[in-house]
Chains A and B, each alone.
Chain A
Amino acid sequence: MGTVDRKRSTGRSVLLHLALVTTSAIAVAPVLWILLSSLKPANRILSSEIKLFDQPTLDNYRNVLSNTDFTTWFLNSVVVAAFTMVLGIFMSATAGYALSRFNFPGRRSLMWTFLITQMFPVAILIVPIYGIMSNLGLINTLTSLVIAYCTVAVPFCTWMLKGYFDTIPRELDEAAALDGLGPFSTFWRVIIPLARPGLAVTMFYTFLTAWGEVAYATAFLQTDDKFTLGYGLQTFVPQFNKQWEYLTPAAILITIPAAMVFMLAQRHLVGGLAAGATKG
């Protein structure tokens, strides 16, 4: 790759490492601090001196898992995110392919629509969608969230997948056409199998977006048993009497699976994002 390799004096090497170590520490410190705090007894979480370890215990984890609705919220979040992801991919894969391969009337305006939809602030659709959901009797259901998240997921997935399909050589389509495959079977039998990495990354990214959403969840959900994590965690830290002994272990329990998957996928993620973003 285009890595620049020049001779560096020792002094500059030390400075470089120093800068990187400092920023890495800043990047990791908050997570580490939450982890360490989650292991402290409830009455010592906000003690008046900085202590890394203070009678470490797993009590907070036990409490948050057994005394709160955390597990329900976790499950709700998984369900919502999974459905959003599947729907997003299913609906947008063909469109992404058509946008990548065919130059049809309406293509440019469609691409612009996707781009503009992605800049819609949550504030603009949330009121009308809330109205629609309440007319359909869907307020306080997970379904309403899946539908609302599709407004974000579908344009996003289409855009990402178009970017990925662009990287698959067109010669493959032409060869398939010579072999007598129509455009639909080319798509299903040639392109989809090749696009699996791109599909995986798009699915994953959609999952994370739905997983971390706060505004729609806060507006649509009303009862404890329906909360997703983005809303449920807010109930741990109301304006007064914040229960950090619940929040900190919950934060760690949410972060561990998300971070593991993220670290596995991140290398592909960036390629996909850049391809989708720059080849528009």
Chain B
Amino acid sequence: MAIDPQTVAAPPTGPARAPSRPPGRIRRAATTHWYAWAMVVPVVIVLGVLVLYPLVRGIFISFTDLNESNQRDEICTKVLGGGTECVPNPNAAEFVGLDNYVAILTGEKGEFWLQFVNTIVWTASCVALHYAIGLGLAVMLNRKIRGRGIYRVLLIVPWAVPAFVSAFAWKFIFNERNGLANLALTSIGLEPVAWFSERWTSLFTAIVTNVWLGVPFMMVALLGGLQSISADLYEAAEMDGATPWQRFVNVTLPGLRPVSATVILLGTIWTFNMFPIIFLVTEGQPAGQTEILVTGAFRAAFEGIRQYAFASAYGMLILSMLVVFAVAYRKMLSRQGEVW
């Protein structure tokens, strides 16, 4: 727990203070901060029970061989006379050390590296397209233009549709037999595409869906950022004879830095963890080749023979990747002099 020197040095203002002896550090902190702590206690308890405990349990499970068939500690059988008799399960899950991790990373079990590549392609292309399209639209909407309000409302529509509904809508559009996408292709003289029977076309449908539903968030966040850039800067740049492109590169982009840093980080994490789109649009077709890590872990845990331990190890690997990413990203920003 990080103790801020400023707060420790602050004179205690709380009511009950023993006058006889100089209060200890902890006691002093308690009298100063008791109400703040009281206010955060409910949340801390909830997080402890619902997040910390499952997390620790998840870490523990990832080192065992827990699955559907060995999850019972005891096997109970009905005996004559109505009672039940329980004996320890001889096949109960046991500690297997790093076996799950080794099996995953060597590709001995599951398709970790395939899903890893899918996840990278998926995240990078979605975030890049979100940001580029969102920025383009934000710049356009930031101008005085007739009908700006209407454009804004129409462009925000994909955000208003629940994600799983969007997923079904696009799956309908990419339906192989007479879906709208294929009808459009045939109407301009191209062959219809069997979207879900090839890895990259299948992943493409999911990326299209996700780009469609994620652009409005970027657009609105960046529009907010654009509007906070002082018009004086643009005037000054214009007086110095800067071209529109130079103004964009030297005024707009630097002015957007704080917002961009936040939305790119958030967008990357959200997309990386985006479950429903892949799960509902491609369903992993063909044959699990478009699964990303998150959906892969889910299917390992809840489809077929349920491999709880295997899925937990997956989860830990995913989390550690995200933590590494977030730390690296933050480092990179602070090296560039960002106070985030």
CB <8 Å contact, A219 and B302? yes
Q: Is the interface of B mostly helix, strand, loop or mixed?
A: helix
A48 to B224, CA, bound (A): 44
Q: Which residues of B contact A2 (CB under 8 A)?
A: 142, 226-231, 234
CB <8 Å contact, B312 and A128? yes
Cβ-based interface call for B280 (8 A): yes
CB <8 Å contact, B58 and A49? no
Choose among A33, A104, A278 the residue that contacts B37 (Cβ–Cβ < 8 A). A104
Q: Which residues of A contact B326 (CB under 8 A)?
A: 116, 119
A115 to chain B, nearest CB (A): 8
Q: What residue in chain A is nearest B325 (Cβ atoms)?
A: A119
B75 to chain A, nearest CB (A): 17
Choose among A104, A242, A254 the residue that contacts B162 (Cβ–Cβ < 8 A). A254
CB <8 Å contact, B42 and A123? no
A3-B144 contact given A128-B55, A215-B276, CB 8 Å threshold:
yes
8 Å CB interface, A70-118 against B = 91-92, 94-95, 97-99, 101-110, 113, 116-118
A46-B175 contact given A30-B169, A212-B276, CB 8 Å threshold:
yes
Interface size, chain A (Cβ < 8 Å)? 104
CB <8 Å contact, A37 and B162? no
Apart from A28-B154, A130-B302, A266-B220: 6 A-B pairs, beta carbons within 8 A: A105-B3, A113-B47, A126-B315, A128-B55, A154-B43, A154-B50
- Which residues does A use to contact B, with CB under 8 Å? 1-6, 8, 13, 16-17, 19-20, 23-24, 26-28, 30-31, 33-34, 37, 46-50, 91-92, 94-95, 97-99, 101-110, 113, 116-132, 147, 150-151, 154-155, 158, 182-184, 187, 208, 211-212, 214-215, 218-219, 229-230, 233-234, 237, 239, 242, 244, 247-248, 251, 254-255, 258-259, 262-263, 266, 270-271, 273-274, 277-278, 280
25 pairs from A and B in contact (CB 8 Å cutoff):
A2-B142, A3-B142, A3-B144, A19-B140, A20-B147, A20-B151, A27-B156, A49-B183, A94-B42, A98-B40, A104-B29, A104-B33, A108-B2, A118-B269, A120-B273, A121-B297, A124-B318, A128-B53, A128-B57, A130-B308, A229-B164, A230-B164, A233-B164, A244-B175, A277-B262
